[in-house]
Each structure stands twice: as C-alpha cells, then as structure tokens.
Amino acid sequence: MNIPLFKIYNDQEDIDNLSKEISSGGYWAVGPKVGEFEDKLADYIGSEYAVTLNSGTSALHALLLAYGIGKGDEVIVPSYTFISTANSPLFVGAKPVFADIEEETYGLDPDSVAEKITDKTKAIIPVHYAGCPARVREIKEIAEDKDILVIEDAAESFGASIDGKNTGTFGDSGILSFCQNKIITTGEGGAVVTDSKEVYEKLMLIRSHGRLESGDYFSSANLFDYVDLGFNWRMSNLTAALGLSQLNKADEIIRLRRKHSEYLSKKIAEVTDEIKIFNPPKAYNHVYQLYSMWANNRDELLDYLSEKGISAKIYFDPVHKSAFYRDKLGYVDKLPVTEKVAKTTITLPMFPELTEEEINYMVDTIDAFYNGD
C-alpha cells in the first residue's frame, strides 16, 4: 500500500469554476471572483474584511508593512513553525524574537511570551500549529496590557475555533494560507482577515503597486494614481474562482479530517502507549491540517513507515536551529519545549479521502513497529 502525506480534495465544481473563468477570455489576473471570494471568506471566518494575496507568506509580509513594523522593532514568534512566520519580521527590517511553545497545543506558551517582551516588542505572532488553536486568548490579554499587536498565523488552521470563534479573529489581524496541503487550497494563495478598515485599505495598496483602484485596471479607461510603494502580491481571478468552490466544501473537508483523525487516534491508543496523541482542551476545535503526534523512537518509526509505503514527515525542525538563523544570523536560543517536541514529533498522512483500510494499515504498521510482527 502507498499512502501519500496529503491529497487535495477536489470535485467537478472546482473544474467547472476554473474552466468558466478560463473560457471568459479575460479576467485571468484581476476580476470579479477575487472580491466575491473575499466577501465569502470574511463571512466564513467571521471578520469584517478579507484581503487575498498570492501566498500566506505575502500575507504576513504585507500585514507587518501595513502595521508599520520595521527597523528597531521586535516581533515575538515561535520557532516551532514554518520558516516564513519567523522570516516575516526580517522582511521589514525588524527582529524575530523566539518564545517557547507548550506541549498541549504546540502553540506559543503565554508565560514564555511574557518573558520575551521588551520595550521594543511591537507584535506577537502565535501560530495555530497543525490546525490546533494556540492559547491565543491568553496571549491577547498579555499583549493588550502592553499595547502590543497580536497577528495570528492561521495558515494551518482554517476553520479551527475556540468556543466556536474562528482562529484568525482573536488577534488584531490574522493570516491564512491556501497552499496545496492546507485545509482549502487554491494551489498557492493566502489572505489576511481583519476588522480594521485602516489595515484593509493599506493592504489593498500594498498588494497592488500602491495603486488607488476604483475599477478594473486592465479594462478601465480611467487613470489610476499611485499613492504609496506597493508590490504585485495579488491573487488571480482564476485562483479566486477555485477558492470559491473550495470554500463551499470547507465544512465537509473539516468534518472528514476530524472524523479520520479521531478514529486514527482511538486505534493507535489501542495498540501502543509509545505514542502520545495530540489532546487539546475540549473547547479547542482542531481541524487536523496535519496529523502530528509524539512518538518514542521517532526517527526509526519514520524510516519504518517509509519502507512500508506510508509517507510520514517531520513538521517542524525548529527555525532557530536552521543554518540561516544559527550561522548567518547568530541565534543561540535555548527553547527546551520546542527542542524536545521537535525531536519526538512525527506527522502521518491525513486528508479527507483517506479510507478506513488505509487508516487500519497505518495502525497495523505502527503496531508492528512497536510490538513486532
């Protein structure tokens, strides 16, 4: 049996939506689907505004620019994340400061965050790792007291919630990613969600050349003025069409991921106690963008699973230990929980179309690894 790490959930609606835009003969770059996708996205997440961009990384970069974060500022980030979370302060000339995570959610530990705050701290970026909400309410409380921004990195946690409130809406703003292994995907893509009109207006300029857009630039006879420095970080109309059809399936995608993950967790617990399953607090609705777990003899297990046709992976190696941060930037942080968790965590295949047979095969393989054939 061969089980990939992820498989994109797609259907005829994705093909139809995209084909319709292709055959329109225009609107391959900007077009009406972008605004439509943004309106529906904001509705789904529960924010006033959604601004799409060409990636989650651009969303982080654009947001830090929109908040005017720059040289001399510090931004607190986890090291247990995808590298672009930590890189985003560097993009704008600010300094990423690593705080440790806690073991229940694998998200930033509020106590560690509090210790890392200085008078230069301008923002905190909690990451909702693997689709599990981080302790963002506690972090927001700490930040509010000190007038520090909270920017949620919800790249992995589309549709995850705490007490029914979606990740991305607890902080001052949040970012989403629609890269191919995420909960919903447009191939590449991202978005910012925010309640701030000011941030929304700045992002509209930043993502499209600083241009004041009062219509469709490509087909309008009007002259548009350029009022700031901006980039081309737009999501295309083709991509947004795919976003709309993916969004229609989001609830079903999340339902299936949760169902498979809960079944997998139950089955693993029946065969071994060498594995510790992710067990967030009850009110935390985990969407399992990744099925990550803590495992004894993790590296040997990874090799064994791969021999048996199961694509497991390590998410993540701590950012502060990467050659770039360690050798080029000189980071020498000690983050005990991050380092411990990073040595023992393994990510198994998880996607909506995973079959019961495939899940049972994963469990049997884990059983054979720990208990012998």
Q: Distance between CA atoms of 263 and 258, rounded to whole angstroms?
A: 8
Among 85, 166, 167, 347, binds ligand PLP (CB under 6 A): 85
55 binds ligand PLP (CB under 6 A): yes
Q: How far is the CB of 222 from ligand PLP (least distance, A)?
A: 32
Q: How far is the CB of 144 from ligand PLP (least distance, A)?
A: 23
Question: Which region, judged by CB under 6 A, interacts with ligand PLP, from 1-9, 82-90, 273-281, 322-330?
Answer: 82-90
Among 97, 127, 160, 184, binds ligand PLP (CB under 6 A): 127
Question: Which region, judged by CB under 6 A, interacts with ligand PLP, from 16-24, 77-85, 277-285, 359-367?
Answer: 77-85
152 binds ligand PLP (CB under 6 A): no
First to last CA, the chain: 17
Contact code string over 300-339 relative to ligand PLP, x by CB under 6 A: ----------------------------------------
Q: Distance between CA atoms of 119 and 232, rounded to whole angstroms?
A: 34
Q: Distance between CA atoms of 67 and 38, rounded to whole angstroms?
A: 21
Among 131, 171, 190, 318, binds ligand PLP (CB under 6 A): 190
Q: Which residue is nearest to ligand PLP (CB)?
A: 56
Question: Which region, judged by CB under 6 A, interacts with ligand PLP, from 30-38, 43-51, 78-86, 357-365?
Answer: 78-86
Q: Which is nearer to ligand PLP, 168 or 358 (CB)?
A: 168
82 binds ligand PLP (CB under 6 A): yes
Which secondary structure element, helix H or strand E, spans residue 36, and what is its range?
helix 32-45
Which residue spans within the chain are E strands per DSSP?
49-53, 74-78, 95-99, 121-124, 149-153, 161-162, 165-166, 173-177, 190-194, 275-277, 284-285, 291-295, 345-348
Q: Distance between CA atoms of 76 and 91, rounded to whole angstroms?
A: 14
Radius of gyration of the chain measured on its C-alpha atoms:
21
Q: Distance between CA atoms of 34 and 173, rounded to whole angstroms?
A: 20
Sign of the dihedral through C-alpha 245, 251, 255, 261? positive
Structural contact between residues 5 and 16, judged by C-beta atoms closer than 8 angstroms: no
Q: How far is the CB of 143 from ligand PLP (least distance, A)?
A: 19
Q: How far is the CB of 371 from ligand PLP (least distance, A)?
A: 33
Q: Which is nearer to ligand PLP, 84 or 121 (CB)?
A: 84
Binding region for ligand PLP (CB under 6 A): 55-57, 81-82, 84-85, 127, 153, 155-156, 177, 179, 190
